[in-house]
Amino acid sequence: MQEKLHLTQHPGLNPPSFNTIIQNISDEGLFLKETYCYPRGGGQPGDRGSITSKSGVSKMNEVLSGEYILHPVENISLFNEGEEVTCQIDSNWRNRNSKMHTAQHVFSALANELYGAETVGNQISESYTRIDLWFPDRDKFNPQEIVEEVNASLRSGSDVLIHEWSREKILSHENMRHTKFMDRIPPSITNLRVVEIKGIDLCPCAGTHVGNTKQVDEISIENVKSKGSGKLRITYI
Ligand SMILES: [Zn+2]
């Protein structure tokens, strides 16, 4: 598995350009020796931007996950294996996704605290985020209440910190959320990245985040719909 260097950059805002070597080229795009691009996953869209070689510059479409991270490019004829290229991640796109993703942590944490709800799915889209929540009693869900609580938490100016903790420390921490998926991570990975939003949330996560909740705009709920027994799908902007 190729190392995901975006994990080493926090806050995940305004990512700098980086130079690297093209290791392989397929019909779908480029495989780079190393990459700081966030590949699509965990409900967060992949980075996009541009890649420049000595022959010119090509648009880079959404970066995708896999054994090796794939960088789809619009004009593949500009590139040759083994040559050095410069990759520029689209900062507006990344910043927006880092903000939306951080807001999702706050929303999920407060839904858990207020209603005992568990986040069972989430997806950040072009202009909105949707979260699927499972509730012990979904009639208790109050959209106005959670919006006010989320926005108050965002305004509170909580720092977002990154930790590298062992599985044991993560699983035994009393405030840790969202650990069920850890079964799916190979046992060879002994330390995991933990995201802490001071006083609000603590959970393992490989996404990109802002440095302080004040950097996230306030949210408002667009739609709430039933997704079957005990579940609601909430869409907010
Ligand atoms: Zn996260």
- Which CATH number is associated with domain 5-89? 2.40.30.130
pLDDT at 188 over 90: no
pLDDT tens sequence across 52-86: 999 999 999 999 999 999 999 999 999 999 999 99
Ligand 1 centroid – CA 39 distance (Å): 14
pLDDT at 225: 96
CA distances from 26 to 51, 67, 217 (A): 15, 14, 39
Q: Count of H helices and E strands in the chain?
A: 3, 13
Residue-range domain boundaries for the chain: 5-89, 94-236
pLDDT at 189: 85
Ligand 1 centroid – CA 38 distance (Å): 12
Ligand 1 centroid – CA 205 distance (Å): 5
Ligand 1 centroid – CA 51 distance (Å): 26
Per-residue pLDDT, averaged over 113-141, amounts to 95
Ligand 1 centroid – CA 25 distance (Å): 30
pLDDT at 127: 86
* Distance from C-alpha of 134 to C-alpha of 138, rounded to nearest angstrom: 8
If pLDDT is split at 50, 70 and 90, which confidence band does 126 have? confident
The mean-pLDDT minimum among 40-44, 48-52, 123-127 falls in 123-127
pLDDT at 187: 84
Ligand 1 centroid – CA 148 distance (Å): 21
Ligand 1 centroid – CA 58 distance (Å): 29
Q: Is 172 exposed, middle or buried (0-12, 13-18, 19+ CB in 10 A)?
A: exposed
Ligand 1 centroid – CA 44 distance (Å): 9
Ligand 1 centroid – CA 84 distance (Å): 31
Q: Name residues whose C-beta falls within 8 Å of residue 55's C-beta, 6 or more positions apart in sequence.
A: 77, 78, 79
Ligand 1 centroid – CA 105 distance (Å): 6
Q: How far is CA 24 from the centre of its chain?
A: 26
pLDDT tens sequence across 90-103: 999 999 999 999 99
Instruction: Please provide the average confidence, as pLDDT, over all residues in the chain.
Output: 96
pLDDT tens sequence across 131-185: 999 999 999 999 999 999 999 999 999 999 999 999 999 999 999 998 888 888 8
Per-residue pLDDT, averaged over 185-209, amounts to 93
- Which CATH number is associated with domain 94-236? 3.30.980.10
